[in-house]
Structure formats: structure tokens, C-alpha cells
Chains A and B, each alone.
Chain A
């Protein structure tokens, strides 16, 4: 992409990239969904201990399994999201990844228990079992949701002049959502409704946001 100091670059609402050009409202919405996906990921991490606890106990190994699983999934999501964003820089694709990850969350309560049972009974070492179980139930959705940030940066960038601000804002907004997800889940949602209900909520919110992203491309 050429660095162009023309008037076009000084118009904040037009972004320049290969593929679709989001309007200012769409750009705002991309930031909003960054906030939401950040919240969903951390909320789900808080839930992880509620899923794993009854099967693997409350040992420190369970926490280690949870945290390392979330980090591994985010790591995979960042790499994958970055490379896919260059190949398919479209809002529709981004919306699809959010939707697919959220559908998994919506369905998770229906199959979480047999999966956890499987690992408790079939892996002798409880530390290894808790890691395997955490990966089995958490890796996929968090990878998909973790793809969001690099992808959003790709879609929002217009030149390298503000690439710092755009990438910083995407990650900052996403992390702000993570704070709300962490605190809101721990102090508000968990005391109020069950883990399955919270997971349904996270999945529903994600599907709704992802569907809106996909749908937005039709109206242009």
C-alpha cells in the first residue's frame, strides 16, 4: 500500500484497504464487537473453572490448565487471524468467524459433561487430564474469537500513519471488554445464574454480533 498524503487520507471516515471499505458507523461497530469478543473470551475463562472444578478439583494444576489453554488459543487465533485477514479481508469473513465460535459456545453445555467425564476416566494423571479437558472444551471457540483483533486491525487500517492508533485502540477496546467480562462474570453473572446459562448468553451475544457483521456487508 502506498503512503499517500493526499486529502483522501485526511478524511477520517474513509479507510483504504484491499476489499471492502467500512463506513464510520461500521468502523464503530467493529470496535464494539472487539469489546464484546474481549468480554466473551474472559467471561468464558472465568467459567472454565466452574466447568473443570467438579471433575478435576480445585488444585493449582486446574488453574494452570485453564490459563495456558486460553493463552494457547489466543496465540493460535492471533496468528491465524492475521494471515487469514490478508487473504480474505472482508467483514463477512470476520463475522463468520465470530458466529462459528459463538455457535460452539451455544452448543457447549450440551456436550461439556461427557467430554469432561471422558478425560477424568481415561487419563490417569489428573494434571494432564485437566489440561486435555481444558483444551477440548475451550481451545476452539477462543481461537476463533481471538482471530478478531488482528482481523479488525486489517479492516480498519488506512495507512501506516495511524496504524499505531488503530491497532492500539482495537486491542485496548478488546481488553476493556475483557475487564468487564472478568469482573461482570465473577461478581454479577455467576452469583445470579448458572454456568450453562452464562455460556448460552455468551454464545447468543456472539452470534448476534457476528450475524450483524455479516449482514452489514449486504447493505454496504
Chain B
């Protein structure tokens, strides 16, 4: 591991229940804007940079910079990345959230957020790259507590070998801009479903390119009969990822909204899940062009090269302002290439 900017920090003992070290966060806040560290790991080129109160972890992958993770140093309850807010909607469905599994660490904004707002839950985060774990601990201040654990492992291997059940499973594992193929197959989605506790929910961050997206939708349908689709709202990308929730239980949209209202009252999330669930929801895609992805057949890189489907359009009447002055954008599907209008 090559660290080009060295950082010496006074490390104080961490309080038992804090999922992050506030001293590290405070120290980071004092730093000048710009690049703080460049860490090369065996998998990634990690750039840690700061802009005002935002601490960002970017990955460089073959010359492309990807915004992988951002945290708000001044407000630890914030979720600066819009797609993570859509993923948090998953928390409305389980009756009690005791165990949460997160595949893919980044800067740890999702696990930290859930750890803060779900005080009874144990959060296990699985990350393949030990360098990302080190950077998250050193610069984003993630230590381990009795409720918050970081494990170095491939996500699927971990799921396969550990038979405990989870109320929430968040799948947000990327290698650069790609999701590894073995995390996008029918067998993997079935494995995730098999690891869900009763009333459990899985949340997936899915790439929007048309062929790959349609194939993922078709494949997810084989594992989960109940699916929700949400726009990720990401402005930093030219096309928007889609967040898919796979539920064990069936709910109508009205019932889901009611559950969201109850959950928001109970957990008091920074980002109101009852507003997110309505503002971000998109219609169930038909996925006409999709092929079922299996361990045997999953040409995900080839499919990703096909046209990207979901383009962002701003709808001035629907835009809402949320904490942090960011706007939630509606996502409408682009018209199909044959000229037929896509369903709204």
C-alpha cells in the first residue's frame, strides 16, 4: 500500500457505542480543501479529498474517476450521496431490525447511517479490498464496536459461508464502475433471499444500461416476487442508477407508504422515508430486452455496453428540497429506440 500523504493523528479511546471516531472526523474537518491522500491498493487507486465539510473517497479505475463515497464531516446524520437515501427506504419493511448486512464499504456512509438510526441493530459490513477498510478507518474514522463490524471478504463467499439471517441486506459492491458478475446472477440473488430473516428486505444498487438493467430485473424476479424500483437521484452521473428492493412480503403501494410513515415516526431518519418512497418510486420496468443471468451465463460487461436506458429529466413541479439543500429529481425512462414511448 502506497500512501503519498502521510497523516499523524492523535488517537483517543473510542466510546463504546459510537460507530465512528469523532476525533478523526474533527481532525479531517480542520484540513485544507483538496487531495488529502492517495492510497494504492491491490484492487483500487483510492483518492481521499475534502471539499468544505464533505469528505470524499474516489476510486480511479483505468483513468476514470468514480465518486464512490461521501460523508458529511459536519453532520454525521447526513447522507450526501443521493442513492444511499433511496437504499435506506428498505428499513421500513422489517418489523424489527436486529441484523443488517452491507456488501461493499466505500466510506461507510450507509452502515454509519443505519447504525445511528437503528440502535438495536448489529451492522456487518463486508468489503473485499483491505485497503478500503484501512482508508475508511484512518480517514473516515470507522472503528469497530460490538454492534459495528468490518470484515474483509468477497461478499458472495461471506454470504455462502455464514448461515445467519439478516433483516436487511444492502448490496452495493462495485469494482470500478462494474458490478462483478457473480453478484448479479440468479444463484446470487437466491442466496441473498435465503439469508433474509422473515419480513426481511434486500436492497440492490443496479446499473442502468438497458440490456444489463433489463437482465437484472428479469433475474431478480426469479428470486423475489415482490420488488420496488427507485430512482437513485444521483446528479453526479449522466445516467442514474436504479435502486431495487426485494421483499419477502407483498405490500401494495398504499400499504408501503403507510409502513414508511410508521417507520419514519419510529426511527426519525434524517431523510424522511415516507417522502422518499413516493418521490423516488419509478414504475416497474417491463424488462423486455433482458436475459436471465446465471452463474453459467452472465456476460455483464457486454450487456453494460449497450445503450443506457434511464435518463434524468427535471420536472420543476415535482422537485422537492431536502435537508442539505439538494433536490430530488424525478427519473423518466427514455423513449425506446424504435420510437415507441416508454411507459411512465
Q: How far is the CA of A120 from the CA of B302 in the complex (A)?
A: 29
Q: Residue B180 at the A interface, CB < 8 A?
A: yes
Q: How far is the CA of A59 from the CA of B187 in the complex (A)?
A: 19
- Among A57, A193, A194, A196, contact of B182 (Cβ-Cβ < 8 Å): A57
B299 near A190 with CB under 8 A, answer yes
Which residues of B, 169-188, contact A by the 8 Å Cβ criterion?
A: 175, 180-182, 185, 187-188
Contacts from B to A (Cβ < 8 Å):
42-43, 128, 153-157, 160-161, 175, 180-182, 185, 187-188, 294-299, 302-303
Q: 18 A-B Cβ contacts within 8 A?
A: A50-B298, A53-B181, A53-B295, A55-B157, A55-B160, A57-B153, A57-B180, A57-B182, A59-B154, A60-B43, A187-B302, A190-B299, A191-B302, A191-B303, A193-B297, A194-B294, A194-B296, A194-B297
Q: Residue A195 at the B interface, CB < 8 A?
A: yes
Q: How far is the CA of A57 from the CA of B182 in the complex (A)?
A: 7
A184-211 interface bits toward B, Cβ cutoff 8 Å, 1 = contact, 0 = none: 0001001111111100000000000000
Closest A residue by C-beta to B161: A120
- Among A59, A120, A194, A195, contact of B160 (Cβ-Cβ < 8 Å): A120
A54 near B187 with CB under 8 A, answer yes
Contacts from A to B (Cβ < 8 Å):
50, 53-60, 120, 126, 187, 190-197
A54 near B43 with CB under 8 A, answer no
Among A53, A54, A191, A195, the most chain B Cβ lie within 10 Å of the Cβ of A54
A58 near B182 with CB under 8 A, answer yes
Residues of B within 8 A of A192 (CB): 299
Closest A residue by C-beta to B178: A58
A58 near B295 with CB under 8 A, answer no
A44 smallest CB distance to B (angstroms) = 15
Contacts A54-B187, A126-B153, A195-B295 given; 8 further ones with Cβ under 8 A?
Answer: A53-B295, A54-B156, A57-B156, A58-B128, A60-B43, A120-B160, A190-B302, A191-B299
Closest A residue by C-beta to B160: A120
Residues of A within 8 A of B180 (CB): 53, 57-58
Residues of B within 8 A of A194 (CB): 294, 296-297
B258 smallest CB distance to A (angstroms) = 39
- Among A56, A190, A193, A195, contact of B157 (Cβ-Cβ < 8 Å): A56
- Among A59, A191, A196, A197, contact of B128 (Cβ-Cβ < 8 Å): A59
- Among B128, B187, B295, contact of A57 (Cβ-Cβ < 8 Å): B128
Closest B residue by C-beta to A120: B160
Q: How far is the CA of A60 from the CA of B44 in the complex (A)?
A: 11
Q: How far is the CA of A190 from the CA of B294 in the complex (A)?
A: 12
Q: How far is the CA of A193 from the CA of B302 in the complex (A)?
A: 12
Q: How far is the CA of A60 from the CA of B128 in the complex (A)?
A: 10
Residues of A within 8 A of B175 (CB): 58
Closest A residue by C-beta to B155: A57
A54 near B185 with CB under 8 A, answer yes
Q: How far is the CA of A53 from the CA of B180 in the complex (A)?
A: 9
Q: How far is the CA of A59 from the CA of B297 in the complex (A)?
A: 20
Closest B residue by C-beta to A113: B295
A57 near B188 with CB under 8 A, answer no
Residues of A within 8 A of B154 (CB): 56-59, 126
B187 smallest CB distance to A (angstroms) = 6
Residues of B within 8 A of A196 (CB): 296
A131 smallest CB distance to B (angstroms) = 15
Residues of A within 8 A of B160 (CB): 55, 120
B296 near A195 with CB under 8 A, answer yes
Residues of B within 8 A of A53 (CB): 180-182, 295
Among A53, A58, A126, A192, the most chain B Cβ lie within 10 Å of the Cβ of A58
B175 smallest CB distance to A (angstroms) = 7
